[in-house]
Structure 1
């Protein structure tokens, strides 16, 4: 499933540069994750890099975009084909 940045985000600027899929950008008030580009770092790392660097742990699974590990791997393959 894609990830979601909650309203607890403090705009620390850590996550955008860590995202290998360039899925994180500034929204109206806080950073946001594009679910069409988020693979939870499947194909790149063992864990989501944005979650690893977030100092306040405000990045969580997005219940509106549930995807299996296989679906995330397929999305990665399609983006980098």
Structure 2
């Protein structure tokens, strides 16, 4: 009975270590993808490429979302304005 418990424990430990490794790999992949998204957004808004350290600072300070809020809102307003003008031109 003791041997089977030991064997089960060893197997479960191995399985959990594998799952932890898979999870860490997934976290790293998600982190890298998020960095790439922030880098693309910054380039789209500013036209400049930034270094990894600056990207990390933007993410940690939560400015990675705020920096894009105004340009996105302005673009939305511009599209609404264009649609209104288009509507007036058609009628």
> 1 or 2, which has the higher strand percentage?
1
Q: Note whether the superposition's TM-score is higher than 0.5.
A: no
TM-score between the two structures when normalised by the length of structure 1: 0.23
> 1 or 2, which has the higher helix percentage?
2
Higher relative contact order (CA 8 A, sep 6+): 1
TM-score between the two structures when normalised by the length of structure 2: 0.21
